[in-house]
Chain A
Amino acid sequence: MKNYETVIGLEVHLQLNTKTKIFCGCANTFGQNANTLTCPICLGLPGTLPVFNKEVLKNGIRVGLALNCKINSFVKFDRKNYYYPDLPKAYQISQYDFPIAKDGYLPVQIDGQLKNIGITRAHMEEDAGKLIHDSEIKASLVDYNRTGTPLVEIVSEPDIRSPQEAYDYLTSLKLLMQYLDVSDCDMEKGSLRCDANISLRKEGAKEFGTKAEVKNLNSFKAVKSALEFEVGRQKKLLDSGERVVQETRLWDEAKQITLSMRSKEEAHDYRYFPEPDLVPFTVDQKVIDAARKALPEFPLAKSGRFIKEYGLSEYDADVLIQDKNLSQFFEDCIVNYNEPKKICNWISGALKQELNAKKINFPEAKLSVDHFISLIQKVDDGTVSNLAGKDVLKIMLDTHKDPNAIISNKGLAQVSDEGALENIIAEVVSENPQIVEQIKLGKESAIGFLVGQSMRKTQGKANPKIINQMLKRRILDV
């Protein structure tokens, strides 16, 4: 048995979130009725001409810059020719030899270490339509709404060394693109799609082994599982002296295996040539410089700053930056209540739990900075218990009401008034003579049980610290 090194490269297609398609004014919107977002241009009717969407170029440049790429000042499009029913023109307008961006890298956290994964290129192109295979009517149905949706294809170098690294690369890439706000990066809607190239080579070998291309990957988890399956499959072949065949394989999610796709005959002869319907474009260095200046703060930089500026732990900072909106909310809160650690805990803990439970994103929660801070302050000053505070938050997200109003309406304020608690303490002590005896004999830890009993009788509204003190005073006379 020899040891092998895994070599993976990923191709990611990202649908840009521009208002319109790449070469026509049809709306770039997902989920509309079939064939309601098309026009003579994106249907490829004779006599029409595509015109390039300015915003697509702008975002192509921003993606390239975010990936530390060189931006090509000369931009042109090429025709990629193939016949398939989802492609009404029988060619896709893409970029061949002058991609908008090349030679970059993406820093990825892998096992706590930063590793730069090379980016070969990023280019702009149009998406194809959507084919639905209908076995009932024994035909395929074509919806051309997606035709002409702007795409950026990001091709990585074969720098990825394990399925887990592939997963980490995708997570980092997605987060970076969300910070850039160029795409909603939703694999379920197909706005982020990924194909993977994978090969094995003997440890220490310089030459790459024969690779397989894996498609039909519908989630990051599927990418990881499919690559793990491929490592096993290729290893078995190589160990038994067989060869890996260069081919495209499809991931079967139900069976958790990859299967050879019956090779589309000569499918790879795309006969690229310069697109005659579009003139070339030149990108001024000034435009590139301005775009670079306008880039947002990126996740890694932000997490570093949170650690330095607010004294958060690496873990806390990393959790916060996973959501651009939540990390912004965190900073907005600190301006008004300078308790970074507390605010971080409330956001990463209770708030995230509630968002997950309601299956909503933070912006949909419409939570105001003022309300959130005033809730945390009410917990900090002992007006409500931590537990009751979480209930208040839940109600806040449902009703968007001021936490103070919720606390008084629901009677959630903690009882710290000893007079009001005296009867309850007396009750608990008389109901639990054995425990009281134990405490008197020195088993002080048993007092926790009595605190719990008292809390229950007040429906959690009592201040546990006060209860504890009162019990000790009564039983031990301290």
Chain B
Amino acid sequence: MITKKDVQYIAHLSRIHLAENEAESLTKNLEGILTYIEKLKKLDVADVKPTSHVLPLENVFREDVVRESLSQNDVMNMAVEKNKGSFKVPQVIE
């Protein structure tokens, strides 16, 4: 059973602001999704191999070879606020 409190907690962890009516409709949505999961849980999967990934691939590697990085200028062009070549963000610690 999903409550509005759960939804607000998850929204907070994800730093998403929800209006009151949004929280209510999302609670119903999530409840629906979880009901569906309950259905899946009832399936017999004894013969299905456990998987951690949807693609039938493994061991995709990269050699340890240096590639050119972006310039500081290019990176700073993406910054909303900047200072001395660094991203400027609200103060995190006093």
Q: Is A3 an interface residue (CB 8 A)?
A: no
Chain B contacts for A137, CB-based, 8 A: 83, 88
Known: A269-B13, A279-B53. A52 touches B61 (CB 8 A): yes
Within the complex, the shortest CB–CB distance from A348 to chain B, in Å, comes to 36
Chain A contacts for B66, CB-based, 8 A: 19-20, 25-27
Q: Once the chains are docked, how many angstroms separate the CA of A52 from the CA of B81? A: 31
Nearest 6 A/B pairs, CB to CB: A25-B67, A141-B86, A55-B64, A142-B87, A51-B62, A54-B61
Q: Is B69 an interface residue (CB 8 A)?
A: yes
Which of B21-29, B30-38, B39-47, B71-79 contacts the other chain? B71-79
Q: Is B63 an interface residue (CB 8 A)?
A: yes
Q: Are B64 and A39 in contact (CB under 8 A)?
A: no
Q: Is A281 an interface residue (CB 8 A)?
A: yes
Within the complex, the shortest CB–CB distance from B94 to chain A, in Å, comes to 8
Contact of B76 among A23, A35, A276 (CB under 8 A): A35
Residues on B facing A (Cβ under 8 Å): 9, 12-15, 52-55, 57-67, 69-72, 75-76, 78, 81, 83-93
Known: A140-B92, A271-B13. A36 touches B71 (CB 8 A): yes
Q: Is A293 an interface residue (CB 8 A)?
A: no
Per the 8 Å Cβ criterion, residues 30-44 of A in contact with B are 33-40, 43
Q: Is A133 an interface residue (CB 8 A)?
A: yes
Q: Is A143 an interface residue (CB 8 A)?
A: yes
Q: Is A446 an interface residue (CB 8 A)?
A: no
Q: Is A144 an interface residue (CB 8 A)?
A: yes
Contact of B64 among A35, A53, A138 (CB under 8 A): A53
Q: Is A84 an interface residue (CB 8 A)?
A: yes
Q: Are A132 and B62 in contact (CB under 8 A)?
A: no
Chain B contacts for A464, CB-based, 8 A: none
**In the complex, what residue of chain A is closest to B93 when comparing beta carbons?**
A133
Within the complex, the shortest CB–CB distance from B1 to chain A, in Å, comes to 19
Chain A contacts for B52, CB-based, 8 A: 76, 274, 280
Chain A contacts for B58, CB-based, 8 A: 279-282
Known: A20-B65, A51-B62, A281-B59. A33 touches B70 (CB 8 A): no
Chain A contacts for B54, CB-based, 8 A: 276
**In the complex, what residue of chain B is closest to A132 when comparing beta carbons?**
B86
Q: Once the chains are docked, how many angstroms separate the CA of A57 from the CA of B12? A: 35
Q: Are B53 and A276 in contact (CB under 8 A)?
A: yes
Known: A51-B62, A276-B53. A81 touches B71 (CB 8 A): no
Q: Are A34 and B62 in contact (CB under 8 A)?
A: no
Q: Are B59 and A138 in contact (CB under 8 A)?
A: no
Contact of B91 among A20, A76, A133 (CB under 8 A): A133
Q: Is A162 an interface residue (CB 8 A)?
A: no
Q: Is A266 an interface residue (CB 8 A)?
A: yes
Contact of B86 among A23, A35, A40 (CB under 8 A): A35
Q: Are B53 and A35 in contact (CB under 8 A)?
A: no
Q: Is A83 an interface residue (CB 8 A)?
A: yes
Q: Are A25 and B65 in contact (CB under 8 A)?
A: yes
- Ordered by A's residue number, 16 sampled pairs between the chains whose C-beta atoms are within 8 Å are A25-B65, A27-B69, A37-B69, A38-B70, A43-B75, A52-B62, A85-B87, A85-B92, A133-B93, A139-B91, A141-B83, A141-B84, A142-B87, A144-B87, A280-B58, A281-B58
Chain A contacts for B67, CB-based, 8 A: 20, 24-26, 39
Known: A25-B65, A81-B13, A274-B52. A138 touches B91 (CB 8 A): yes
Q: Are B92 and A274 in contact (CB under 8 A)?
A: no
Q: Once the chains are docked, how many angstroms separate the CA of A38 from the CA of B70? A: 6
Per the 8 Å Cβ criterion, residues 58-100 of A in contact with B are 76, 81, 83-85
Q: Are B15 and A38 in contact (CB under 8 A)?
A: no
**In the complex, what residue of chain A is closest to B55 when comparing beta carbons?**
A279
Chain B contacts for A35, CB-based, 8 A: 72, 75-76, 85-87
Q: Once the chains are docked, how many angstroms separate the CA of A142 from the CA of B55? A: 35
Chain B contacts for A56, CB-based, 8 A: 64
Within the complex, the shortest CB–CB distance from A139 to chain B, in Å, comes to 5
Contact of B69 among A38, A55, A132 (CB under 8 A): A38
**In the complex, what residue of chain B is closest to A138 when comparing beta carbons?**
B91
Q: Is A237 an interface residue (CB 8 A)?
A: no
Q: Once the chains are docked, how many angstroms separate the CA of A54 from the CA of B60? A: 9
Q: Once the chains are docked, how many angstroms separate the CA of A112 from the CA of B76? A: 55
Within the complex, the shortest CB–CB distance from A182 to chain B, in Å, comes to 13
Q: Is A131 an interface residue (CB 8 A)?
A: yes
Chain A contacts for B72, CB-based, 8 A: 33-36
